[in-house]
Amino acid sequence: MKSYSESYKDSGVDITAGYKAVELMKKHIARTTNAGCLSGIGGFGGLFEPDLTGITKPVFVSGTDGVGTKLKIAFLTGVHNTVGIDCVAMCVNDIVCSGAKPLVFLDYIATGKNVPEKIASIVEGVAEGCVQAGCALVGGETAEMPGFYPEDEYDLAGFSFGVVDKAKIVSGDGMRAGDVLLALPSSGVHSNGFSLVRKVFGIGLETVNRRYAEFSRTLGEELLTPTRIYVKPVLELLERVTVRGISHITGGGFYENIPRSLREGLSAKVDKAAVKTPPVFEVIAREGGIPERDMFNTFNMGVGMSVIVPADEASAALDVLRGCGVEAYAFGELVEGDGGVILC
């Protein structure tokens, strides 16, 4: 007998819609399957056998995050197949800061009404993010919560874990004054600061379709640009040069995130003129009348990830990153200080 409850459906939870969503998302999940996957979806837990070849003392590194109020843009535009990339990016970009390779990912979707096609579209983006990060989507949860969320809205969060050899953890060891800060460019706003973005533009059905001279597309399309995933180029960099620190530039911008990778007694001196800031940030600052300090303390300002390397390896590091398709550049150096950021 098939699982079905008319009473539960009358309360707002249609379990058959959940089954359909699972069937629709299977082709997307299959894209992420690799040799470590020991189970398909539908079990009580996702089974994964990590390949620990060459790792003497494995250390597991975990990360969890969500997409935040960027989802409001997806609701208004009806575009749901990119926010999953953001969800994966927010987790795996954090993990790689420790030098770890992400292995698996799990997602959590909570919605007021389970529309199978919409759920499958969200998972399509999650799967694409996993492909970009080289990890497997081994499970997840879709919770239909009528009366808790509006029918046409949802929340999206994820969890990932990876592995790094204990001897290769990026911990700041050896970091010193004179080390160089390298910028890995962002694709735009990424997934942080959207409460301020929505306030600046008064986000609604009309404003997401607004056009600005700085963009070749609508405001909504510009803001939905997926967060860039840096896992593969950073892992390649770790194999080729000495990396002393990595920061994922998320909420809190430069001032909050760069210091998280600094050793005590050092500050990051950033050459403001060297920072390649995309037009979207110029528009946000202009339309909202936002001071420069607040911009650099809220947004990534065009730098999605910063990497600290010895000065004599900076050129080689840039060659590696550019060989991976990342147009990285130097934007500062470490100096003796109190652990903060000096923007000059």
DSSP state for residue 165 in the 8-state scheme? E
How many other C-beta atoms are found inside a 10 Å radius of the C-beta of residue 37? 18
Find out whether 96 and 229 touch, Cβ atoms under 8 Å: no
For residue 57, the model assigns a pLDDT of: 98
Give the C-alpha separation, 288 to 286, whole Å. 6
Final residue before a domain boundary, out of 148, 168, 188: 168
Q: Closest Cα to residue 101, out of 52, 137, 67?
A: 52
For residue 226, the model assigns a pLDDT of: 98
What confidence category does residue 4 fall into, taking pLDDT thresholds of 50, 70 and 90? confident
336 - beta bridge partners? Answer: 266
DSSP state for residue 273 in the 8-state scheme? G
For residue 294, the model assigns a pLDDT of: 98
For residue 218, the model assigns a pLDDT of: 97
For residue 43, the model assigns a pLDDT of: 87
For residue 339, the model assigns a pLDDT of: 86
The secondary structure of 201-247 as a DSSP string is HT-STTGGG-B-TT-SSBHHHHHTPPPPP-HHHHHHHHHHS---EEE
**Residue 174, in any domain of the structure:** no
Cross-sheet strand order for the sheet of 136-144: 58-66, 154-165, 101-111, 136-144
Give the tens place of pLDDT for each residue, 200-218. Answer: 999 998 999 999 999 999 9
CATH number, domain containing residue 330: 3.90.650.10
Give the tens place of pLDDT for each residue, 90-120. Answer: 999 999 999 999 999 999 999 999 999 999 9
**Residue 281, in any domain of the structure:** yes
Structural domain count, the chain? 2
Q: What is the pTM of this model?
A: 0.97
DSSP state for residue 109 in the 8-state scheme? E
| Whether residues 206 and 267 fall in one domain | yes
CATH number, domain containing residue 50: 3.30.1330.10
The helix (H) or strand (E) run that includes residue 269 is strand 266-270
Find out whether 153 and 75 touch, Cβ atoms under 8 Å: yes
Q: Is the dihedral of CA 90, 96, 97, 100 positive or negative?
A: positive
Judged against a pLDDT cut of 60, whether residue 1 lies above it is answered with no
For residue 41, the model assigns a pLDDT of: 84
For residue 322, the model assigns a pLDDT of: 97
For residue 127, the model assigns a pLDDT of: 98
Judged against a pLDDT cut of 90, whether residue 173 lies above it is answered with no
Find out whether 75 and 66 touch, Cβ atoms under 8 Å: no
**Residue 3, in any domain of the structure:** no
| Whether residues 196 and 90 fall in one domain | no
Judged against a pLDDT cut of 70, whether residue 289 lies above it is answered with yes
* Residue 162 belongs to domain spanning: 12-168
Give the tens place of pLDDT for each residue, 219-265. Answer: 999 999 999 999 999 999 999 999 999 999 999 999 999 999 999 99
Final residue before a domain boundary, out of 168, 198, 226: 168
Give the tens place of pLDDT for each residue, 117-149. Answer: 999 999 999 999 999 999 999 999 999 999 999
**End-to-end Cα separation, the chain, in angstroms:** 69
What are the Cα distances from residue 308, in Å, to 172, 177, 304? 9, 11, 14
